[in-house]
């Protein structure tokens, strides 16, 4: 399957940034696209399916692509998140994710993950080929994935060279592959990328950081299991893991967030998801908020608006109970 998405093909949207955001959303998932040159050529995007993988070629003027908490929550109606491996063309990019910022030079291989807020900035123009790999079918551990987001693959490594050449070849030839061959090629390429991620994660892992990463991963899982408990906080988490509150806070130094902010962010994501579903039980905003651990409705509303730009009731009335016919959300976000 091959399609070419031209943002200029949406004449009903006078805002060119909105047109670009909508075009990218149709081709992949909800994002916000901002241009350095509002009157420039909107650019072109080509997508090709290969088995369970999606390849995207994008060429455009200087752009900045942002996927924030609101767009991630809107994308919960998709079946899954995607791990992205990108090969830069004649221009480079700046990728920000998980508290890291990396400059990706022209011709280099980089990574990011669609279900964590991120920014991909192309100040000199967009010339990139990417592959979206479904997270559920991508055989790497969560901590390995977290270590490689917003990093550049070792340019001199043989695995990175294989991934780069394979991606550039498949993005041009996927349309010509019969179904059975496409499926085998997709699995082989996914395995090759997983090998590169494993190699990269091992290279970038701190010498004594394995136990720390394991403990942090355990705490994230504990938070997700106990989100609905109003008393969930640093004290209860520290007690459950046999450490002091001070040690817990020290553990999160360098993570780009605090324990309390982690809990708050996950609760906001959970309420945003619940408000978009028909089967969310109590459909009132206060009922959903209380179910996910927010005891003060007014405080919850302020936090929600600060994170998503609209009130919880506006979010529910706009998105609640709507299901797109395609697993990819075809409505782009409002450009900000």
Q: Are 4 and 46 in contact (CB under 8 A)?
A: yes
Q: State how far the Cα of 235 lies from the Cα of 243, in Å rounded to an integer.
A: 9
Q: Name the residue with tokens 């609905």.
A: 228
Q: What residues contact 296, with CB distance under 8 A and at least 6 apart? A: none
Give 308-322 pLDDT, tens digit per residue: 778 888 888 776 544
The whole-angstrom separation of Cα 295 and Cα 97 is 31
What is the C-alpha end-to-end distance of the chain, expressed in Å? 32
Residue 120: beta bridge partners? 65, 95
Residue by residue, pLDDT tens for the chain (336 residues) are 233 333 333 233 344 444 333 333 434 567 888 887 765 567 888 988 898 899 999 999 999 999 988 778 765 445 468 899 999 999 999 999 988 899 999 999 999 998 889 999 999 999 999 999 988 777 788 878 888 999 999 877 899 999 999 999 999 998 888 877 888 899 899 999 999 998 888 775 544 445 677 888 888 889 989 989 989 999 999 888 888 888 888 888 767 778 998 899 889 888 888 887 654 555 688 888 888 889 898 999 998 888 877 888 888 877 654 433 232 333 333 232
Q: Are 35 and 63 in contact (CB under 8 A)?
A: yes
Tokens of 284: 């009132």
């Amino acid at each position: 399957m091959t399609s070419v998405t031209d943002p200029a093909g949406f004449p009903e949207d006078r805002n060119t940034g909105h047109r670009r955001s909508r075009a990218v959303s149709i081709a992949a998932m909800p994002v916000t696209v901002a241009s350095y040159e509002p009157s420039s050529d909107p650019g072109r995007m080509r997508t090709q399916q290969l088995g369970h993988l999606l390849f995207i070629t994008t060429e455009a003027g200087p752009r900045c692509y942002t996927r924030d908490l609101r767009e991630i929550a809107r994308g919960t109606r998709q079946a899954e998140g995607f791990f992205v491996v990108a090969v830069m063309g004649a221009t480079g990019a700046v990728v920000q994710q998980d508290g890291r910022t990396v400059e990706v030079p022209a011709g280099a291989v980089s990574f990011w993950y669609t279900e964590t807020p991120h920014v991909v900035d192309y100040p000199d123009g967009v010339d990139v080929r990417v592959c979206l790999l479904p997270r559920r079918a991508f055989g790497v551990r969560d901590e390995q994935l977290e270590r490689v987001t917003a990093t550049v693959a070792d340019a001199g490594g043989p695995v990175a060279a294989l991934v780069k050449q394979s991606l550039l070849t498949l993005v041009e030839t996927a349309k010509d592959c019969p179904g059975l061959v496409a499926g085998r090629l997709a699995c082989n390429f996914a395995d090759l990328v997983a090998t590169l991620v494993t190699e990269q994660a091992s290279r970038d892992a701190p010498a004594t950081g394995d136990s720390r990463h394991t403990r942090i991963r355990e705490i994230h899982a504990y938070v997700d299991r106990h989100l609905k408990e109003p008393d969930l906080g640093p004290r209860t988490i520290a007690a459950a893991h046999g450490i002091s509150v001070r040690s817990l806070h020290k553990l999160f130094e360098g993570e780009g967030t605090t324990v309390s902010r982690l809990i708050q962010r996950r609760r906001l994501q959970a309420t945003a998801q619940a408000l978009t579903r028909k089967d969310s039980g109590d459909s009132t905003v206060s009922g959903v908020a209380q179910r996910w651990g927010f005891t003060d409705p007014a405080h919850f509303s302020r936090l929600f608006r600060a994170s998503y730009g609209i009130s919880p009731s506006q979010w529910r009335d706009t998105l609640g109970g709507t299901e797109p016919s395609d697993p990819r959300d075809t409505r782009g976000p409002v450009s900000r």
